[in-house]
A and B are shown apart, each in its own frame.
Chain A
Amino acid sequence: MTDAPDHRPTMAGITIVDRMAQAMPVLLVPILLVLGFLAIGNPSSWLTLTVSGLAMGMMIFIMASGLTLVFGLMDVINFGHGAFISVGAFVGISVVLGLSQWAQAPSLVLNLCVVLLAVLAAMVVTGLLGWAFERVIVKPVYGAHLKQILVTVGGLIVIEQLIHVIWGPDEIFFARPETLKGAVTFWGAALEKYRLLAVAIGLVLFIAMRMVFRRTKIGLIVRAGVENGEMVEALGYRLRLVFVGVFIAGSALAGLGGVMWGLYQEVITAGMGEEMMILVFIVVIIGGLGSVEGAFIGALMVGLLQNYIAFLEPKLALISNIGLMTAILMWRPQGMKPVVKAK
């Protein structure tokens, strides 16, 4: 082959200020942990609140990760995402109630089996529901934001009413599996066992998602598709099929989040998903549209801040998340780690 003409590649050096700006979103969580510690003063209280905040953040992240990808990939605003959270919770908790003997047995293995079966059932049902939702409700309104909002809100209402039809109109109270009740004491702090489990599941899920996105071709296609779907198609990938897969996975994750949130609250209602959507949207917006890592950081910040503020100044807890979103958007109007430019 012919020699390429002489060209000496150079790359402008990245200044320390630029590096700090890039790393700042990741540093916000440790900064918040330190500020929380300084403000609370008592190490054991801080540790209890931190674990509680991380658990809450992980569960919100699980619910939000699918939504941010759906928005990033196909520019679809899905208000119906909350329905998958509710359906997941009802299906999962039905499994827990159906296997009450296993759930009440003082056996960690049996209890974890119950949780695992509940999670699997919820994810399968919400995954299938997500597939039907995309085909019937979302597909006809691609590219039309106003219609998307109207029909997905309509879908949410219909599914909530179906929950009332199937499980009845009342809220359902229940107890967690036996060995997940109570707390362990560590460093003078009471750490709820279930919250530790939630943190572990959230972390495992985040690491698994990162590996899929970084190490597999389907992950590359999704990341590239969020940034420039047209170009992904021009390379030879049918993005619509990828999107359907992501929609199903996102719905299943919402179902998982619903089960975990239900077990956390020990009560489920048809409207619980709709209520969670406020936090989920805050996380998606401050994380940056289309960014799973941004959603992860945002969810942890929302969880931690809400717990710290509720302890320090309970009246302010109601507005802490809106305040956080305002501050983040004033600093970075497109969120912390935007992949999709504002449309």
Chain B
Amino acid sequence: MSDPILRLEGVHTDIAQYHILQGVDLEVPRGAVTMLLGRNGVGKTTTLRTAIGHWGTRAGRILFDGEDVTATKTADRARMGIGYVPEDMGIFSDLTVEENMTLAAVSGPLVPARRDWIFGAFPPLRTFWKSPAGTLSGGQKQMLSIARAMAEERRLYLIDEPTKGLAPAIVSTMAGALRELKTQGASILLVEQNFAVAKALGDHAAVMDDGRIVWTGPMSELATDAGLQERLMGLSMEAT
């Protein structure tokens, strides 16, 4: 793979006394969706949190667009063009939807065309623009969380389980928005437990186990090989 947007080289991350990432080697290609898959507790969320800088590394290097950002602070990584959607959504409940979006536009006011584009992807945000984010439903909060990452053009999106616990109608709204990002050529590293969504969106896949990447390859290969799925993730999903 040549010139990936994000590269993790032998990354080790500790959380308190626990050694979570045990030498992660991962490349996220430019302009494609890379699915980060694996069973619960194997280190997917920690990988994303390490990539954005919430967790420091004990060893290894993180390269963003060729630049070593291992020692770079979270805020500076974000300003370099990394958008992050955490698993818990990270919504500011006390702020309105509008204020959440205003804050997400770091480099200046939210561009109206961008806002309208987000309204197209997530119509409820227009409806509840002036409402406190804390009063939104779970699905609407997830929409806001992703919309915030989309408030400005980013060079890379790190998205952690955007469809977790959502109703099917909202899952398809999420998938539609992510597909829209994909068609615009965005680079995305996506943790997703919903295999149907992963299969529909993913170009590449990386499977984790015990704090390491144990398999990488085209998503289509993983999606069509039930045996591979069972071996890597412990259960066979809807292989087609």
Contacts and interface: CB of A to CB of B under 8 A. Distances in A.
Among A4, A10, A12, A235, the most chain B Cβ lie within 10 Å of the Cβ of A235
Interface stretch (A118-126, A216-224, A304-312): A216-224
B195 interface: no
B106 A7 contact: no
Interface string A144-182: 000000000000000000000000000000000000000
A220 B96 CA distance: 10
B76 to A, nearest CB: 8
A230 interface: yes
Contacts of A233: 53-54, 73-75, 78
Chain B binding surface SS class? helix
- The bracket for how many chain A residues form the interface is 20 to 34
B123 A2 contact: no
A52 B123 CA distance: 52
Interface residues of B, number: 45
A1 B180 contact: yes
Interface stretch (B14-22, B60-68, B171-179, B197-205): B171-179
A228 B134 CA distance: 13
Among B84, B94, B127, the most chain A Cβ lie within 10 Å of the Cβ of B94
A227 B131 contact: no
Contacts, number: 100
Contacts of B179: 2
A224 B103 contact: yes
Interface string B157-181: 0000000000001101100110110
A272 B131 CA distance: 43
A220 B100 CA distance: 9
A144 to B, nearest CB: 15
Interface stretch (B31-39, B85-93, B215-223, B229-237): B85-93
A231 interface: yes
Closest 10 interchain pairs by CB? A9-B124, A231-B90, A236-B78, A236-B106, A233-B74, A224-B92, A5-B172, A236-B79, A234-B84, A238-B75
Interface of A: 1-7, 9-12, 14, 217, 220-221, 223-224, 227-228, 230-239, 339
